[in-house]
Amino acid sequence: MALSKTGVGQSQMDRTRQHLSALETQVRARIAATEARPVQAVSNRLHAARLYQDATHTRHAEVLRRYRAAQERLAAPEPRRSLTDRLLGRQPAVTVMETLEHEVAAARADLIAAEKAAAGADGNLARVEKVEAAERTQHMGQMETERRAALEMLAEIITAQRMVHAFPAFAYAGPPFVAWSGGKVERKRRRSSRNPWATNIWGIPLDFG
């Protein structure tokens, strides 16, 4: 982070406080930007997979209706022959039955193809959803990592500000050193501090309340 420019006539205390305040503003802006980042919307890939699945299922339903209608026509009773046909021994035309059988066979082939296409669309959608879920989980994990890192940095800056408030003379060590010290104290507290009365190597309490 860039150091803020200060006037020559500023005291060391003011420069240190201004430096820490600028760092805090930058970190809080990072936290706000991370929390305001929208969750990834539905991708074009997932949207296309869903549209393809809908299309294949619609096609399958249409072919299934056509297949069932052809079966019903084939299973319908043959038309009754007239008295003249029976007396003359005429047999019903075979072409009608052959046509119906061909219609049923064609409809069945279309139905098998439609079922394969629908199953393929279902599998493709499942794969896309799995990939999208993994990418979304990774994205959310990355956002949470960035947010936690920013929160830890904010805690370090706040610790440095409390150190300056508790020991004003510490500000004369210089803004960079004060900020570094606050980070060191806060990191040590996060790692192992369970004693509220613990102090660092300079005798400064780790917990400022």
Domain membership flag for residue 113: yes
> Sign of the CA dihedral 53, 56, 62, 64?
negative
If asked whether residues 134 and 66 sit together in one domain, one would say yes
Q: What mean pLDDT is predicted for residues 23-46? A: 81
If asked whether residues 52 and 129 sit together in one domain, one would say yes
Answer with the one of 100, 126, 141 that is the final residue of a domain: 141
At residue 89, the pLDDT reads 62
Domain count, the chain: 2
* Count of residues making up the chain: 209
Domain membership flag for residue 206: no
Q: What is the span of the domain harbouring residue 18?
A: 12-39+143-191
Confidence of residue 1 (pLDDT cuts 50, 70, 90): very low
**Taking 80 as the threshold, does the pLDDT of residue 148 lie above it?**
yes
**Taking 60 as the threshold, does the pLDDT of residue 26 lie above it?**
yes
Q: Report the alpha-carbon distance of residue 165 to residue 207 in Å, rounded.
A: 13
Compute the chain's Rg from CA coordinates: 39
If asked whether residues 92 and 156 sit together in one domain, one would say no
pLDDT in tens, 113-124: 999 999 999 999
- Please state, rounded to an integer, the average pLDDT across all residues of the chain: 81
Domain membership flag for residue 6: no
If asked whether residues 125 and 165 sit together in one domain, one would say no
If asked whether residues 49 and 134 sit together in one domain, one would say yes
Confidence of residue 36 (pLDDT cuts 50, 70, 90): confident
Domain membership flag for residue 28: yes
Confidence of residue 139 (pLDDT cuts 50, 70, 90): confident
Q: What mean pLDDT is predicted for residues 58-69? A: 93
Q: Report the alpha-carbon distance of residue 3 to residue 23 in Å, rounded.
A: 8
If asked whether residues 151 and 89 sit together in one domain, one would say no
If asked whether residues 137 and 168 sit together in one domain, one would say no
Q: Report the alpha-carbon distance of residue 92 to residue 81 in Å, rounded.
A: 7
Of residues 195 and 181, the one with the higher pLDDT is: 181
If asked whether residues 95 and 179 sit together in one domain, one would say no
**Taking 70 as the threshold, does the pLDDT of residue 202 lie above it?**
no
Domain membership flag for residue 95: yes
Answer with the one of 112, 141, 170 that is the final residue of a domain: 141
At residue 3, the pLDDT reads 44
Q: Report the alpha-carbon distance of residue 98 to residue 75 in Å, rounded.
A: 13
Domain membership flag for residue 202: no
